[in-house]
Structure 1
Amino acid sequence: MTNITPFLMFQDKNAEEAMNFYTSLFKNSEVTSIVRYGPDVPGGDEGTVMLATFTLNGREFKCIDSSIRHQFDFTPSFSIYVDVETEEEIDHLYSKLAEGGMELMALGNHGFSRKFGWVNDKYGVSWQINLP
């Protein structure tokens, strides 16, 4: 079977911090594996994430700390879309993800759902949070 997994490349050596933040926000979420660069593993700074896997509400993601500084980074043209069940949940997630980030669409009723908001978090990852 073919697996399709979202993959996040962090350029500020904060992949582990981001994973821990994300998994703290969603139920049924955890960091499942981390392989780090070490003294005998060339290509990255010792201790940074060479490859990690985590789940958010059971959905698998992979991420790395890039050892190369690229001319591109995360963009809102690709976002993580989250449907929630309660107003309390959308309010909590939106406020936590917006801390230190940037609001792209204010949390509110935009006509296509009861409540919706779009933010870039403090790591640059884009999130659309929806209460259908």
Structure 2
Amino acid sequence: DHQFLLAAGSAGIDAATNIVVKEANERMLLLVYAAVVLLCLITFRSWRAAVVALVPLAITSVLCQALMVMLGIGVKVATLPVIALGVGIGVDYALYLLSVQLNYQRAGLPLRDAYRRAVQFTGKVVALVGVTLAAGVVT
């Protein structure tokens, strides 16, 4: 005796879009993680380098989603690219720093000195680009 009607109009479109976006978010994060691991293994030929790149990526993803929950921002069509961009930028900086550090370590410097020199070499550029991109996202 009941008739179920499909949602129509903007409410129906929003509901269907939210379902697809939720699935796309999980798939996107898994693909990003897999790509980072694969490219780190190819580039650095070290599983340790892959772990060093993947741990900050995972932490960033969790913190991003936690911040979105605290601010009441849902994962929508408009926010999905921002999430992907934010995660990608963090990994980009980590890999840039890691590649310079590994070059110093392969040249014979101990870990502490290699890291210090890598930060001295890349720190200003990473900070400048990070602040510039953060200003764009905040506005």
Q: TM-score range by the shorter chain?
A: under 0.3
Normalised by the length of structure 2, the TM-score is: 0.24
Using structure 1 for the length normalisation, give the TM-score: 0.25
Which structure: greater helix fraction?
A: 2
**Higher Cα Rg, which structure:** 2
Question: Which structure: greater strand fraction?
Answer: 1
